[in-house]
Chains A and B, each alone.
Chain A
């Protein structure tokens, strides 16, 4: 990794006050992203991926949410930053694409107007010029007849078009960091490919870093540089894409990557099912949260394992590297 990180997250925790008491959706995760890096973030539904991203953007507004830890963007602390200062960064240097394109746009304004609004919030530019930029952006995300689409309302566009409009909006100020929460889940395969290409191009042309949440390991295989696997609010394994696909270390990752063919080859399926159900956040087991579902759980797992490993490839599991290699070799991990 290059020396200066663009984004540095440490000990980020998001918890909610609920009827069952304080529930931690994100449990003290730390990571850093370099400029131009594309990080894939994977994990089961409910593992806290979206909450992590929202916390990065300062978008957790629930009065019942408690946020702690640190998020540094270009050295500036974002947690606890004032609204004005935050709004100078959001939308310009950091932008987000949301999980559900159907509800992400305000229904009463045209797509073009919503993009123009963002551009004009961050740049001194005439309405006319901003409008022209918006049309260019809409065209750049592969929507035909962009001038026409700019004048349309969200409900007049298909899901794919809406998602691309949201992406056009996110890209409008060439953000240094793009945060994308399952940007392609709602779309069909051809549109998915176009959007991934677009994200790749953003990195190539503007050197932007990307955090990409997805359930689709094929997408990760195609575009990511690094991968982080989340389980029950924690990062349980991190490393380069090659590390994760060729030699996953965490038993949970073994399950995830088990059904995935090699990096090159046919398009892989979505995350494979892992026996058992994700734990309830209000009743997490002590120590390793994967314990109830892990085939290799033993007494030592009752203590919380730390992320350990070499060369940036780290996993949070008490099994020794030798034991893991043994298991992997025996094919047990891929059963």
Chain B
């Protein structure tokens, strides 16, 4: 177990290193990305440019620049943005993390519960109207673009019906820290959660239904039925329990990607200054330090999520436990 943990840590460092190098190189290979021109301002003279290049170490060879940047990112932690002068990268990312985590965790609770209910009910009533209705709703949820759904939600709750009894509780767009005002935090996030979860409820519901139906054809389900334990128990304790392995794997990957910045559209629509929004802005302005910080952060979460998935996988599936 300890060995597995260490191997994982090593793997994580490698992945983060690789991704940061790639991001770094892509940046320098991008035409028009010369940071010194940005930093110095539009009409700066050649001398100023030289000066800026020298000050920021941009005249050094690339490996040295990379090492310097990593040092300022991780060791001294005083790397500043190329675009917003003086904005320290690390604290900015640190401030964005709780926002993204709040958004994604809340949505995850909703979509896991929703996906389980939809998948199990549809799978158990396969072919019925309930099943068909749920699958149709799921498909609708999957096909609605998240920003469109978000805009509609905003339109309804922020302007159209904001003054009616139904939505007068909805606060203005933005984030309220959990530590400051838990109820305000909840109110600010419940609509973003629902919007972000809609897609995944549909997706997870459909996937779970398919895997449950497949599992229920297995021989061991017949054995379980022959035991006289009742269909509910057969369905949940044997069918669902074996289907969960795939469900959890999928969840871990999606969760990691979202926490790593994939909830970008939801963050933008709801004015949440999360990591996704940060990455988005940094990419727009080609702000190399910020890009590096967010990309490394994202890779950390993706690898972490994989790790957690592996652990859950081992807990849920004894065969995977022994395979290691």
Which A positions have Cβ atoms within 8 angstroms of B? 54, 57, 59, 61, 63, 83-84, 86-92, 95-96, 98, 100, 103-109, 117-118, 121-122, 153, 155-156, 166, 169
Contact = CB atoms under 8 A, between A and B. Distances in A.
**A-B CB proximity, top 6 nearest:** A91-B228, A90-B228, A103-B219, A153-B318, A87-B228, A91-B227
B164 interface: no
A210 to B, nearest CB: 15
Interface string B189-227: 000000000000000000000000000001110111111
Contacts of B228: 86-92, 118, 121-122
Given A107-B242, A153-B318, A155-B319, A59 B229 contact: no
Interface in B209-253: 218-220, 222-231, 233, 237-238, 241-242, 245
26 contacts: A59-B225, A61-B225, A83-B230, A83-B231, A87-B229, A87-B230, A90-B225, A91-B227, A95-B226, A98-B226, A103-B219, A104-B222, A106-B224, A107-B220, A108-B316, A108-B317, A108-B318, A117-B227, A117-B237, A121-B227, A121-B228, A121-B233, A153-B318, A153-B319, A156-B318, A169-B227
A105 B220 contact: yes
Given A106-B224, A107-B319, A155-B318, A98 B219 contact: yes
A117 B233 CA distance: 10
A84 B230 CA distance: 7
A96 B226 contact: yes
Interface string B285-324: 0000000000000000000000000000000111100100
B242 A108 contact: yes
Given A63-B127, A153-B319, A155-B322, A104 B223 contact: yes
A87 B230 CA distance: 6
Contacts of B223: 98, 104-106, 166, 169
B225 A104 contact: no
Contacts of A121: 227-230, 233
Contacts of B218: 103
Interface in B33-65: none
Contacts of A166: 223
Contact of A59 (B226, B242, B318): B226
Question: Which of B224, B225, B227, B230 has the most chain A CB within a 10 Å cutoff?
Answer: B227
Nearest to A57: B226
Contacts of B317: 107-108
Contacts of B127: 63
A90 B319 CA distance: 29
Given A106-B238, A107-B317, A155-B319, A90 B220 contact: no
Interface residues of B, number: 25
Contacts of B231: 83
A105 to B, nearest CB: 6
B124 to A, nearest CB: 13
Question: Which of A108, A118, A122 has the most chain B CB within a 10 Å cutoff?
Answer: A108
A118 B229 contact: yes
Nearest to B218: A103
Nearest to B126: A63
Contacts of B238: 106, 109
Contacts of A169: 223, 227
A270 to B, nearest CB: 23
Question: Which of B223, B224, B233, B242 has the most chain A CB within a 10 Å cutoff?
Answer: B223
Contacts of A84: 230
B227 to A, nearest CB: 4
Contacts of B242: 106-108
A109 to B, nearest CB: 8
A88 B230 CA distance: 9
A92 B218 CA distance: 22
Contacts of B245: 108
A108 B241 contact: yes
Contacts of A107: 220, 242, 317-319
Given A54-B222, A98-B219, A109-B238, 9 more contacts: A59-B222, A90-B228, A92-B228, A98-B222, A117-B237, A118-B229, A121-B229, A153-B318, A156-B322
A118 B227 contact: yes
A121 B222 CA distance: 16
Question: Which of B218, B219, B237, B322 has the most chain A CB within a 10 Å cutoff?
Answer: B219
Given A63-B127, A155-B319, A106 B220 contact: yes
A169 B318 CA distance: 20
A88 B245 CA distance: 31
Nearest to A99: B219
A70 B124 CA distance: 28
Contacts of B229: 87, 91, 117-118, 121
Contacts of B233: 117, 121
A86 B229 CA distance: 10
Nearest to B219: A103
Question: Which of A54, A87, A118, A169 has the most chain B CB within a 10 Å cutoff?
Answer: A87
B233 to A, nearest CB: 8
A106 B231 CA distance: 15
A156 B323 CA distance: 11
B226 A103 contact: no
A57 B222 CA distance: 10
Contacts of A104: 219-220, 222-223
Interface string B158-179: 0000000000000000000000
A53 to B, nearest CB: 10
A76 B281 CA distance: 74
A89 B225 CA distance: 12
B319 to A, nearest CB: 5
Contacts of A92: 228
Contacts of B220: 103-107
Interface string B97-130: 0000000000000000000000000000001000
Contacts of A100: 219
